Amino acid sequence: MVLPILVVYGQALEGATPAMLGLALGVYGLTQAVLQIPMGWVSDRLGRKPVIIFGLIIFAFGSALAAQASSVTELVVGRALQGGGAIAGVIMALLADATRPDQRTKAMAVVGISIGLSFGVALVLGPVVASAFGLQGVFNLTAVFALIGIVLVVFLLPSPPKMAEDNQQHLEENWYRNADLWRLNAGVFLLHFVLTAAFLIVPLLLLNHAGIPKEAHWKVYGTVLLLSFVGLGPLMRLSEKGGKPKLALITALLCLLIALAVFQMDSLRGVLIIGSGLWFFFVGFNFLEATLPSLLSKRVNPHRRGAAMGSFSTSQFAGAFLGGTLGGLSLSYTGPKALLVTLALLLIVWAAWLVTSERLFDFER
């Protein structure tokens, strides 16, 4: 919800600059990145559910603090505390614990789709709530959602079966010894780097080039996201039923590159052009967001899954932090075009590294 509105609504806060707003957008990812592996490590020993509940409590406190911010510095502090609820890796580890290997891809896909749907709903809901209640209302709502999450975990989420004690080192299965897992970690890092940096630019394109008032941005996001499922379906079928996950991933990356090219077009003036770029962006992003954790879960020793998923989530949120922070600095000293070209080059480098793997997709066949 914060992603499409912080840059435009945050300008009213004391001390607001592109660099500081980029920091406010990205610092959430910094604290998430720092704490994902420790939280995963603790969950391997104390259990997943207690750690998830603790993380949601921290996130709720951070949301309440951000809601009361009168300056961009206070907003940065609140966002950093929000990120202290670093439970993404723990949640994915719990899902992997509770599913059989032959059903795990389906389970990960369902969760990935729900993440994609929530991302879409949030892009629509954020501008609607902000137009009625301001930035404060958005953060208050995130605090309420965190409290609802705690209720769901306590009363509705089943505990996964306990695994037998593991006294072996499983050196060949440790996530940090497998180059393919680092390919996936690098991929999710870049995915969220590009997402956060691009959304320092996209809301301003809609406002300044398409002439759409900030209160109406949700209409664009909602329409494009619904239409993006038309493109997401064929990619999912190509990956799962077609047995060509590598081709599907490369296609998704091409979608992101097309989107970045559209965003920097000199002739960019209308909502249809910007909307077409957003369509390619959401198709590529949502597919990769659903696919990468599923690929990783199959390469991890179950007894190290919390730490491994933590490393994956650390990469994800490190990308969000650096995308917001470095993106804001880039906009301050260069401009949108230079930033968009840099994002495209980073994706191309990762794609070149990805296709060199001979084993990453073997188990998908």
State which amino acid sits at residue 342: T
Residue with tokens 């104390």: 46
Nearest-angstrom CA–CA distance, 280 and 340: 15
Nearest-angstrom CA–CA distance, 52 and 104: 21
Q: What is the pLDDT of residue 331?
A: 85
Residue partners of 207: CB distance under 8 A and separation at least 6 = 8, 213, 214, 217
CB of 317 closer than 8 Å to CB of 85: no
To the nearest 10°, report the CA torsion of 325, 328, 330, 334. Answer: -170
Angle between helices 336-354 and 245-263 (to 10 degrees): 170
Q: What is the pLDDT of residue 152?
A: 95
Report which DSSP code applies to 211.
-
Nearest-angstrom CA–CA distance, 39 and 54: 10
Q: What is the pLDDT of residue 110?
A: 76
Cβ atoms within 10 A of the Cβ of 99, count? 16
Q: Which residues of the chain have pLDDT under 70?
A: 101-102, 104-106, 109, 112-113, 116, 160-178, 267-269, 297-307, 358-365
CB of 28 closer than 8 Å to CB of 147: no
Q: What is the pLDDT of residue 166?
A: 46
Nearest-angstrom CA–CA distance, 189 and 101: 25
Closest by CA position to 173, among listed 13, 12, 297: 297
List the structure tokens of 271: 């909502």
Phi-psi domain of 270 (left: phi exceeds 0; alpha: psi -120 through 50; beta: other)? beta
Nearest-angstrom CA–CA distance, 59 and 193: 21
CB of 290 closer than 8 Å to CB of 163: no
Nearest-angstrom CA–CA distance, 64 and 181: 36
Residues in the chain: 365
Going from the N-terminus, what domains does the chain have, and what CATH number goes with each? 6-158+175-356 (1.20.1250.20)
The phi and psi torsions of 321 (rounded to 5 degrees) equal -65, -50
Report which DSSP code applies to 14.
B
